[in-house]
A and B are shown apart, each in its own frame.
Chain A
């Protein structure tokens, strides 16, 4: 099924090309949350500092293919992550994420496909390079995009293995982390300024 019609409904008319760019809406609520479930304790870290863009080629995006000319890039400011305990934040930033050398986590690539769900929601699969702690991995991630205003609410959930990014798994008390970290993202994208 070709989704062009659905996407076109939110694209301003008169565009020269079919590509529409969206950017993270900084004024809306943004949540990036990681959760670690270790044997004794579970804790999470939260930040709102995510920014990035997605460029969609509305003419060729389908449930089977992302089509041509699509691109996305998002990054998260790691020194802003708050685990609720100041000392733990500092340990995490300095000894594990090493934010002075690797201040951002970034994910960039292209859209693989976009399948329509009910109520105008799309399940979008993206493929790209996830860079954390200076180590990059090819990843495929699925996000739900719900229309809101002239943009979308983006919700994603996926897992990251610390060892995949050469992050030492902390073993000291009070910072017991599972190697498998759950990541949840929830933010809005709006038409990019240059295409508004």
Chain B
């Protein structure tokens, strides 16, 4: 008897559901499609950047991306006296990028740390994979000058720095985006006289929990070169996305933001005592 009631209830629920949402409209037989259906644009990471690492995402041709980012010097562990770091001072970065095509972006970055100025280019080389696991691959490279090095020397007395990165991005289960960023960096240490090229491996993940909110984490393995480049760089935080803005708030042991600076490593260990607060804000501009 109970099973009959259950069946009736289920049938009623199905009927209610069916009356609420009618199926897709049938095309008449005499109508033949003459144009191919447009494919929906794919995305792996929504933003062109993780905490520090780039993604393979690019903007639409003609769009601009303006960025302002901070990393607060005092660690959160300094407590209320330093307003958990917000008292500053800060590492500041300003950025502007322009999408020269749907696949190529040109950018300029400027950080107040060593007055590092960078010109860069990024290209989305490939997108594909399967429907279950979309994949995107990009390439990024840049040239930077430290116009006010820690020694006080200007750009003419410093070597320039260069870097190149490949961005391998994949999306799992429509929500978890993964990135692998093998990177080459020329002249990781600007205060020594020698030139060298080093390898760093960036890894990052982002979990999209809703249309607006995602959690991100990032780890960059770099060689221990002592002093201020002894440790790997780690960051984790939350991203708010609003269709034109990306607002990221994070905790990190890396205070530097320009690629030729953070790829070299950091002086702070990735322990809660050393975590600093940082944020990235980007605004998309279309004219």
Residues of chain A whose beta carbon lies under 8 Å from any beta carbon of chain B:
21, 26, 49, 51-53, 55, 71, 73, 75, 77, 79-80, 84-91, 93-95, 99-100, 102-104, 106, 108, 129, 131, 134-136, 166, 172-175
Contact = CB atoms under 8 A, between A and B. Distances in A.
B248 to A, nearest CB: 15
B23 interface: yes
Q: How large is the interface on B (under 10, 10 to 19, 20 to 34, 35 or more residues)?
A: 20 to 34
B63 A79 contact: no
B244 interface: yes
B43 A90 contact: yes
A6 to B, nearest CB: 24
Given A84-B286, A85-B286, A131-B24, A173 B245 contact: yes
Interface of B: 21-25, 27-28, 30-31, 33-35, 37-41, 43, 46, 59-60, 63, 102, 211-212, 242-245, 284, 286
A49 B36 CA distance: 10
B34 A53 contact: no
Contact of B60 (A49, A85, A134): A85
A85 B244 contact: yes
A169 B83 CA distance: 39
A73 B33 contact: no
Nearest to B246: A87
A99 B39 CA distance: 9
23 contacts: A21-B30, A26-B34, A49-B38, A51-B31, A52-B31, A53-B30, A71-B28, A73-B27, A75-B27, A85-B243, A86-B41, A86-B59, A86-B60, A86-B102, A87-B59, A87-B243, A87-B244, A89-B41, A90-B41, A90-B46, A100-B40, A129-B25, A134-B21
A50 B132 CA distance: 30
B34 A136 contact: no
Contacts of B25: 106, 108, 129, 131, 136
